[in-house]
Structure 1
Amino acid sequence: MEIYILIGSFVLLLILRFPIALTLIVSSLLTGLYMDVHLASLIQKIVGGLNSFSLLAIPFFILAGEIMNEGGISRRLINFANVIIGKIRGGLAMVNVLASTFFGGISGSALADTSSIGSVMIPMMKKQGYDADYSVAVTVSSSAQGVMIPPSHNMIIFSSAAGGVSVGALFMGGLLPGLLLGFVLMIITYVLAVKRKYPKGEAIDKKEIPKILFDGLLGLFTIVIIMGGILTGMFTVTESAAIGTLYAFIITFFVYRDIKITRMGIILKNTFKVLSMVLFLVGASAAFGHMLALLKVPLLVSELLIGISPSPAVTILMIIIILLLLGMIMDMAPLILIATPILLPVAMEVGMDPVHFGVLLILCLAIGLITPPVGTVLFVGSAIGRLPIEKTSKGLIPFYAAMIVAVLIVAYVPSVSLYLPSVFFK
Structure 2
Amino acid sequence: MPRSSRGDRPQTGPSSPAALEAAERNPFTPGFGLVPRVLALQGTPVEDFAAALAGRRGAGERSVLIAGARGVGKTVLLGQLREVAARAGWRTLVLHTSSASMVEELRGGAVDLLREVDPEAEQMRATSAEGGAFGVRAGADVEFVDRYAGEKVPLGRLLERLAALLTRDGGGLLVSVDEVQSADHAQLREVTQHLQDLIGAGHGAGFLAAGIRTGVDELLAHPGTTFLRRAHRIDISSVDVGTAAEVIRQTVADTSRSITPEAAVRAGEISHGYPYLIQVIGAEAWARAGDASTIEIEDVDAARAATIDAMVVNVHGPALRDVTGRRMDYLQAMLEDEGPSAVGDVAARLGLDTRAAGVHRARLIGEELLQASGHGRVALALPYLREALERVRETGSTRRAAAPAQVTRPVRRNG
User: Does TM, normalized by the shorter one, top 0.5?
Assistant: no
| RCO higher in structure (CA 8 A, sep ≥6) | 1
Give the TM-score normalised by the residue count of structure 1.
0.28
- Between Structure 1 and Structure 2, the one with more strand by share is 2
Report the structure number with the largest CA radius of gyration: 2
